[in-house]
Amino acid sequence: MSALDRRQFLVGSAAAAGTLAVHAPAVRAQKRGGTLRVIPHADLKVIDPIWTTAYITRNFGYMIYDTLFATDANLQIKPQMVEKYTVSPDQMRYRFTLRDGLKFHDGQPVTAEDCVVSLQRWGKKDPLGKLLMAATGKLQAVDRKTFVLELAEPFGLVLDALGKPSSNVPFIMPARLAATSENEQIKEAIGSGPYRFVKGEWQPGHQVVFERNPDYVPRNEPPSGAAGGKRVYLDRVVWRYIPDAATAANALEAGEVDYYEFPAIDFMPRFEKNPNLTVFVTDPRGNQGWLRPNHLHPPFNTKKARQALLYLVNQEMVLQGTIGQPKYYRTCPAYFMCGPGLPYESAVGAPAKPDLERARQLLREAGYDGRPVVLLDPTDYPSIHGATLVIRELLAQAGVKVDLQAMDWSTLISRRAKKEPPEQGGWNLFVTWWISADVMTPAVNAGISGACDKAWFGWPCSEAMEKLRAEWVRALDPARRKRLAEEIQKLAYDEVPYVLWGQFVQPTVYRKTVRGVLNFACAVFWNIAVEA
């Protein structure tokens, strides 16, 4: 791929990154030692970043694992664990050699076999990974430091897949752990990354503790996004789960914590006026809000019932009730997001406007019988909780009997994996959102996959969608890719794998005693120092 194509594939043009304040300092030595106290956006209960796409688990993964390639701040794919690689002239054979000094937290060296088994497991879960593995003829270790990937058919996104910045990230694990079925969670969290997980201090519902990995050998390059030298100056990073937004805001302002990942938007005017705090947006492209129906069980196992949701969800109403401040949100009809530099923005197939009467009619035609619809509500996640409450009211207005079930986000992450009927512990609907890097192309967008029981939670089944996605990946001409993306969106608006509730940006806030925060769409905690 050309550099421009790659930037479009990931998160748009690099120029957008230049509109943000630059937080990465020069590479000169920073103060060592100390503890960074972080309020994460959710409680950590799942430690397997391949089993789930949850961002809290992805962030956990970046703390303790490393990747073969990574995305830098200029949205370029750069080697990370890989020292060197070669590509055959026909781009059908890739040979990768690991760099020296890679060691897992249990003291064992990282081998090529670990990489192969890790990629195989990732490739059974991740949407882009599945497409890569379908095009792969051979993936095997040559020796302890070298492995090869030979394609069975052309696939222009090999390095982009290996350097994928967000869920699911192809983190490298020991082969003995990566051999776990992709449908089961790993039992240990052992990586080779810059921090080690202190399992003995993990208290679900309260805190997660990491300590500096003394054996980690960073690349001899400036840090940039998830790439470059991951230099660790801190002794410890402690995630403190504070679900009440007001309590969390007070703790940040009082200096009891240093970094607040996802504060409620209501507090932003107050934070912006505080001279002790820095407010910044990690992903100016924004986030895409989803209402995800369960395609396995009534009523949303019927297309007309899912189409009713399209007419029911009023994006402006949901965004006003959830985000509130217009400078942080926008309505958007595009399944692959709206905004400058996003190559697949389109309104094709979208309803002209919300229409509750049309929603009621479609529900009647779908045979909705008034049974309760289970809507999962993560009360500790302000943006999703707010959107869930607005959508509950819209469902009620359309004549749907809603069974709103409150829980924390980490419980929802486990609950959404259940395929049982709603009355047996399953679900009908839940609300979520994704960063731009995870939705902006047909290859990375997990929600449009129609792979049936192998699709993302909700399990849509569409042979036509899978055929179009495969065609998109094989297409080399940008104009053809654009046409295929519009065909995919048109089909999505007919089959409704999920419903858009808008686009928004999420600010992060930290105290000005924190130095070296990197611009990256995921929360990463290397390169950071804390002043006394």
Question: How far apart (Å, rounded) are the C-alpha atoms in residues 229 and 227?
Answer: 7
Integer Cα distance of 7 and 185 in angstroms: 33
User: How many whole angstroms separate alpha carbon 119 and alpha carbon 207?
Assistant: 30
**DSSP letter assigned to residue 22:** P
Output 28 or 84, whichever has higher pLDDT.
Answer: 84
Give the number of C-alpha atoms closer than 13 A to the C-alpha of residue 67, restricted to the C-beta side.
32
Cβ proximity of 289 and 295 under 8 Å = no
Q: Return all residues near 401 (Cβ < 8 A) that are at least 6 apart.
A: 370, 371, 372, 373
φ, ψ of residue 413 to 5 degrees: the values are -55, -40
Question: pLDDT tens-digit profile of 55-66?
Answer: 999 999 999 999
Given a cut of 60, whether residue 97 has pLDDT beyond it is: yes
Q: Which two tokens stand for residue 71?
A: 């995305």
Task: Count H helices and E strands in the chain, helices first.
Answer: 15, 21
The torsion of the CA quartet 514, 518, 520, 525, rounded to 10 degrees, works out to -60
* 218-229 pLDDT tens trace: 999 999 999 999
Q: Are 115 and 65 in contact (CB under 8 A)?
A: no
With residue 85 as reference, give the H or E element that holds it.
strand 82-87
User: Which of helix, strand or coil describes residue 438?
Assistant: helix
CA distance 504 to 387: 12
Of 371, 400, 399, the C-alpha closest to 297 is 371
Per-residue pLDDT for 23 more than 60?
Answer: no
Angle at 410 between CA 407 and CA 413, to 5 degrees: 95
Position 12 scores a pLDDT of 33
DSSP result, 349-392: T--SS--HHHHHHHHHHTT-----EEEEEETT-HHHHHHHHHHH
Give residue 29's pLDDT band: very low, low, confident or very high (50, 70, 90): low
CA 252, 58, 99, 73 torsion-angle sign:
negative
Task: Please give the pLDDT value at position 491.
Answer: 98
**Residue whose token pair is 């053809």:** 480
What b/e readout covers 423-451, taking b as 16+ CB neighbours within 10 angstroms? eeebbbbbbbbbbbbbbbbbbbbbbbbbb
Tokens of 42: 């959710």
When pLDDT is averaged across residues 294-302 and rounded to a whole number, the result is: 98
Residues 435-459, mean pLDDT to the nearest whole number: 96
Report the candidate in 508, 524, 530, 529 with the shortest Cα–Cα distance to residue 72.
Answer: 524
Say how far apart CA 358 and CA 381 lie, in whole Å: 31
Partners of residue 239 on adjacent β-strands: 38, 208
Contact call for residues 160 and 166 (beta carbons, < 8 A): no
SS3 437: helix
What is the percentage of the chain residues whose pLDDT exceeds 70?
A: 95
Residues of the chain with pLDDT > 90: what percent? Answer: 91
What's the pTM? Answer: 0.92
Strand pairing category for 373-378 and 429-435: parallel
Residues 6+ apart with CB under 8 A from 8: 341, 342, 343, 441
pLDDT tens digits, one per residue of 485-528: 999 999 999 999 999 999 999 999 999 999 999 989 999 999 99
Name residue, tokens 């019988």.
369
The stretch 4-15 carries a mean pLDDT of 35
Is residue 38 a contact partner of residue 238, using CB atoms and an 8 Å limit? yes
Helices (H), 458-531: 463-474, 478-495
Q: 3-state class of 450 per DSSP?
A: coil
* DSSP 8-state class, residue 169: P
Q: How far apart are the first and last CA of the chain?
A: 46
232/528 Cα distance (integer angstroms): 7
Q: How far apart are CA 480 and CA 344, in angstroms?
A: 11
Q: Is the pLDDT of residue 170 over 70?
A: yes
For residue 99, what is the DSSP state? P
Count of C-beta atoms within a 10 Å radius of residue 81: 22
Report DSSP state, residue 259: E
Mean model confidence pLDDT for the chain: 93
pLDDT band of residue 284 (cuts 50, 70, 90) is confident
pLDDT of residue 282: 84
- Reported as a single tens digit per residue, the pLDDT across 332-380 is 999 999 998 899 999 999 999 999 999 999 999 999 999 999 999 999 9
**pLDDT above 80 (res 268):** yes
HEC-encoded secondary structure of 32-45: CCCEEEEECCCCCC
